[in-house]
Amino acid sequence: MTKPALHLSTDEDGILTMAIDVPGQSMNVITPQLVADLAAALTRLKTEDGLKGAILTSAKSNGFMAGADLKNMTSLFDPGPDDSETDGRSKMARLFDAVYEINSLLRQLETCGKPIAAAVNGLALGGGLEFVLACHHRIVADNPSIKLGLPEVMVGIMPGAGGTQRLPRLMGVQPALLYLLQGKTMSPQEALGFGVVQELAPAEELLSRAKAWVKANPEGGVQPWDTKSFKFPGGVGAFNPGFVQTFMGASAMTMKATNRNLNGPPAILSAVYEGSQLPMDTALRVESKYFATLVADPQAYNMVRSLFISKQAAEKGARRPEGIPKAPIKKLAMLGAGLMGAGIAMVAAQAGIEVVLLDTTQEAAEKGKAYTADRLAKRKTDPAKAEAILARIHPTINYDDLKGADLVIEAVFESREIKANVTKAAETVLGPDVIFGSNTSTLPITGLAQAWTKPENFIGIHFFSPVDKMPLVEIIRGEKTGPAAIAKAMDFVAAIRKTPILVNDSRGFYTSRCFATYITEGLLLLAEGTGPALIENAGKHMGMPVGPLAVNDEVGLDLSLKVQNQTRADLGDAYVETPADKIIEKMNDLDRKGRKNGKGFYTYDTPKHLWSDLTSITGDLAATQPHPDAVKERLIYRQLVECARCFEEGVVETPQDADLGAIFGWGFMPHTGGPMSHMDTLGIANIVAILDRLTAEHGPRFTPPKLLRDMAKNHQKFYTP
């Protein structure tokens, strides 16, 4: 027998309590069972004379509702072919009906004629908040940690259960757009101030307060927007100056922020603009129209899959070896207190892990600890909490202090010799049975593991800078790395609440190797005489966080030179020099190291701007500049072909890891869902044709691997249905 998702109970006053408790889910989400149960409950509420009103709440203690069950939305993203034999309706007609179902249900809830109060005992996001907004009276537990919001735009979709219509009618169009377009959350106190909720109450009083309101308001089953006297906060309409100015500004700022790459924000703007000037019943259909249009585009599914489904699966241990018991990390030995080591120490200490932060001098070790103190101060962390975090970090120069550590992470200079020295010194104290992780960004793990007696306990744990902000950790399996080391690394990443991907050993691994192609292609364009502003703007407009020159400055041109020299030394005669190498060498000769010393491809005066004398390094600009689309194409496809090569070589084994690593590791165009999703969407045969053309025009770095040719021939995709 199917377990209900909505538990119903009636008290002596005739008040129906509807408690959401979706079976098999740790957090309530919208499922077909919940929709069916709510529809049945509303029928009972409307037809049963003894029922005076209702309360909508959650039976789960960890929150109200997290929204739609995105993992089970595949039927929406693929509703079948046009003119289905089952009912003769078009694909879009079936899609509209499917997405309108919940909108219709919540409209029935707010027009049932009886007062309904929401008693919100925790987090209410997305569809969870939309359920709340459809109730006539909203009471939230007075807990500042509770989050309320509509974050759908963050994963490529939009609110589809009335959020774009009810939120503006409660708080006004301008403030509502800030939350709808940015996916921001609000605290209960903020929601009260905006009029989104009417009451805050202690958690233990939520139900009694909700019942009191229902009893006191027998005629309260009418929403403000269903009365003749309703007026939008701030006003609406094409002749309202504030309304017109809001959309003029919002449209321009949205296009600037998204570079027209995201479908969600324009759909939200359109739904709010049109819907706010229409009766609610029509407005909800307008919202569903835009929601269906979004879902019909591959962008929505690609983003939901990568940014939500794959990310959650990775964080829950999808790639963790089975059969190995979890063992909490209690003490971390952090070798190196530079920028990376200090950042790793900080996130570990925040997770409750004791950290021994070792460097060559006590001053350097103390400076590493001070990094955490500075960051916590800037964030205005509670002093008691900050003190507890700092107390877990123990700066030292003495290897004996590492005793008792159950995990070692090394983050010293990118020098094979230096890394080997600290690895051996740590093993002398700890023994080879402790798992050793190297934070190298480019040096092959298999070679570094030779300095550890048990290479099966040696693994790459590659963080990104700044560690406390970047969400990804790339776990690198060397040739002899064992499952215990992988499990330990995964457990550590879970403890510090970051997203792991698992890749195999290779020079540059996956993220650094593919990310480098974006930078290098930008440098090659520069060497050809392409205007630096054109290169940078093309990079940003195609959806990368910054242009290739700016990101090179952030990484550090001195680090680029070190990696370049180490690679040249390792490969010997096999190393192929390019004009990009010369640019990096010349910039370092001029002591232009990037942001770290205030001068690189950019000059970091106020405001930051491209170095005006850059042509002294690269030569004069070409008389004829390439079209921006041609620049974008080179920057995109150079990354795509390298990602495909990594997949062919087994450096990255799953499209999920490839897409997560690209988006969260180097910021690859999130609107595409990642490089593998993007290639699937564009079509592998089309990708091969474009790469063949680029190879003929620009050289063998664009040559498609055999994998892509075989996939094109066999009509395959990276993601199988």
In a domain, 326, yes or no: no
pLDDT tens track for 372-398: 999 999 999 999 999 999 999 999 999
Q: Is the pLDDT of residue 508 over 90?
A: no
Tell me whether residue 523 is in a domain: yes
Question: For position 678, which CATH number holds?
Answer: 1.10.1040.50
Residues 463 and 545 in one domain: no
Q: Tell me which residue range forms the domain holding 698.
A: 512-713
Q: Which one, of 413, 412, 398, lies nearest residue 356 by Cα?
A: 398
Q: Where residue 461 falls among pLDDT bands split at 50, 70, 90?
A: very high
496 and 536 together in one domain = no
Residue tagged active-site, from 110, 152, 474, 642: 152
Mean pLDDT of the chain: 94
Question: Does 302 map to a domain?
Answer: no
With respect to residue 318, please indicate whether it lies within any of the assigned structural domains: no
Question: Sorting pLDDT into bands at 50, 70 and 90, what band is 2?
Answer: confident
Residue 696 domain-assigned (yes or no): yes
**Which tokens belong to 433?**
């049975």
Least confident of 64-78, 270-284, 403-417, 657-671: 64-78
Q: Report the pLDDT value the prediction gives residue 570, as an integer from 0 to 100.
A: 84
**Residue 686: what residue type?**
N
Residue 40 lies in a domain: yes
| pLDDT confidence band for 81 (50 / 70 / 90) | low
* pLDDT at position 721 over 80: no
> Domain total for the chain?
3
Co-location of 178 and 150 in the same domain:
yes
Q: For residue 636, give the amino acid letter.
A: I
In this prediction, what percent of the chain has a pLDDT beyond 90? 88
Closest Cα partner for 624 from 534, 700, 540?
Answer: 534
Residue 556's SS3 state is coil
**How many Å apart are CA 465 and CA 460, to the nearest integer?**
16
Beta pairing class for 458-462 and 393-396: unpaired
| Percent of the chain with pLDDT strictly greater than 70 | 98
Q: Is 152 a known active-site residue?
A: yes
Q: Quick one: 480 and 439 in the same domain? A: yes
Co-location of 362 and 283 in the same domain: no
pLDDT for residue 360: 96
For residue 304, pLDDT over 90 is answered with yes
CATH number of the domain within which 382 lies: 3.40.50.720
Least confident interval from 205-219, 380-394, 458-472, 553-567: 553-567
653 is catalytic: no
Label residue 605 by pLDDT band (50, 70, 90).
Answer: confident
Cα diameter, the chain = 88
Q: What pLDDT, on the 0 to 100 scale, is given for residue 507?
A: 86
Q: Is there a single domain that holds both residue 410 and residue 535? A: no
Residue 304 falls inside a structural domain:
no
Indicate whether 57 and 185 sit together in one domain. Answer: yes
Question: How far apart, in whole angstroms, are the C-alpha atoms of residue 61 and residue 59?
Answer: 6
Is the domain of 653 the same as that of 516? yes
Residues 23-71 have pLDDT tens digits of 988 899 999 999 999 999 999 999 998 999 999 999 998 899 998 887 7
Cα distance between residue 640 and residue 552, in whole Å: 19
Give me the catalytic one of 48, 101, 110, 130.
130
Q: Is residue 306 part of a domain?
A: no
User: What pLDDT band is residue 87 in, cutting at 50, 70 and 90?
Assistant: low
Check whether residue 70 and residue 217 sit in a common domain. yes
Residue 487 sits in the same domain as residue 520: no
From residue 237, how far is each of 174, 272, 617, 703 by CA, in Å?
A: 13, 11, 56, 55
pLDDT digits (tens, 9 = 90+) for 560-594: 998 888 888 888 888 989 999 999 999 999 999 99
What per-residue confidence (pLDDT) applies to 130? 97
Asked if 414 and 441 touch (Cβ cutoff 8 Å), the reply is: yes
| CATH number of the domain where residue 204 is located | 3.90.226.10
Average pLDDT over residues 18-26: 94
Whether residues 120 and 217 fall in one domain: yes
The domain boundary, picked from 245, 269, 296, lies at 296
Question: Among 501, 522, 539, which residue terminates a domain?
Answer: 501
Predicted local confidence at residue 327, as pLDDT: 86
CA distances for 412 relative to 334, 461, 630, angstroms: 10, 13, 40
Residue 1, pLDDT > 70, answer no
The first and second tokens of residue 258, run together, are: 């998204």
Are both 73 and 139 inside the same structural domain?
yes
Pick from 247, 276, 296: which residue ends a domain? 296
User: Does residue 559 carry a pLDDT above 90?
Assistant: no
Report how far residue 416's alpha carbon sits from residue 443's, in angstroms, rounded to the nearest whole number.
8
**What is the reported pLDDT for 73?**
67
At 576, list the tokens: 């192929």
pLDDT at 77: 67
